[in-house]
Amino acid sequence: MIDFSGRSAIVTGGARGIGAAVAAALVREKIGVVIADLLEHEGAAVAESLGPEAMFRRLDVTDESGWQRVIADAEAQFGPLAVLVNNAGIVDFGSVETESPALFRHVVDVDLYGGWLGMHLSAPRLRAAGGGVIVNVSSIAGLAGYAGIAGYVAAKWGLRGLTKAAAVELGAAGIRVCSVHPGPIHTPMTAGMSEAVAAAQPLPRFGEPEEVAAMVRFIVTEATFSTGSEFVLDGGATAGQWLALPEAS
């Protein structure tokens, strides 16, 4: 188990949902966490609830100078950077035919380019500190195609591929890079989704943010021989085609 106490972490999209749960899990590991988000009120409240080992910084993940400030603040407050969790994301609603070019580009900018920019700027700091971990929060939409969210699917597949490229490039520097692929999770993003979405899964329920956070904590502190790997939390949704078979007589 790796001890990153005395070092810092950045969690994007950390003001609520999965990001807030991840921030709490890392603070429990004695890692100083910067909660980076556009939601200032919510982010500041999460940081306050977690105590002196957390702070909030406003961040647009597509803004290079914003990233530079957040990284500098993390290291100044909590020590050398150890962990980056690229969790910030938005979802679109539109098919390949109907989605506007502007919306497609915006989703890809936030969900893919924002993750790349964080990795691009954090990797030198992780290298200088002797290693660390990057966790990219993709989705089961990065493992399969889904209708009606074309930009989101494209971005999450891209983030999955970017994870593997970075793992190959950065492994020799002691930097591990993995992706996490949640299925339906109870978050503000899924608040309007029917629970029936999960009814056909082997585990017929939505997951909880804390379950994703537990996986991220495992990747950061215990999965020390894993890089370029995909960690799936989807109640079995992507395990196969689930049919109701007759009971054996």
Is residue 219 within 8 A of residue 133, CB to CB? The reply is yes
CA dist 98 and 174 (Å) reads: 44
Is residue 90 within 8 A of residue 69, CB to CB? The reply is no
Largest distance between two CA atoms of the chain:
67
CA dist 111 and 136 (Å) reads: 10
Q: What is the pLDDT of residue 247?
A: 45
Helix axes 64-78, 114-128, angle to 10 degrees: 40
Q: What is the pLDDT of residue 243?
A: 45
Structure tokens belonging to residue 193? 């989704």
Structure tokens belonging to residue 249? 């007589």
Question: Could you tell me what percent of the chain has a pLDDT over 70?
Answer: 96
Average pLDDT on 106-114 reads 98
Tens-digit pLDDT profile for residues 207-234: 999 999 999 999 999 999 999 999 999 9
Tens-digit pLDDT profile for residues 171-213: 999 999 999 999 999 888 777 777 888 888 899 999 999 999 9
CA dist 155 and 60 (Å) reads: 17
Residue 170 has pLDDT above 80, yes or no: yes
CA dist 16 and 116 (Å) reads: 22
CB contact burial 64-102 (16+ within 10 A = b; e otherwise): eebbeebbebbbebbbbbbbbbbbbbbbbebeeeebeee
Name the active-site residue from 152, 157, 206, 231. Answer: 152
CA dist 229 and 138 (Å) reads: 12
Average pLDDT on 112-131 reads 98
Q: Which residue has the tokens 């989704």?
A: 193
| 113 belongs to the catalytic site | no
- Span between the terminal Cα atoms of the chain, in Å: 48
**H or E, element range at 180:** strand 175-182
Cβ partners under 8 Å of residue 118, min gap 6: 10, 12, 61, 67, 84, 86
Tens-digit pLDDT profile for residues 32-69: 999 999 999 999 999 999 999 999 999 999 999 999 99
Q: What is the pLDDT of residue 187?
A: 84
Tens-digit pLDDT profile for residues 125-157: 999 999 999 999 999 999 999 999 999 999 999
In DSSP notation, 96-114 reads TTTS-HHHHHHHHIIIIIH
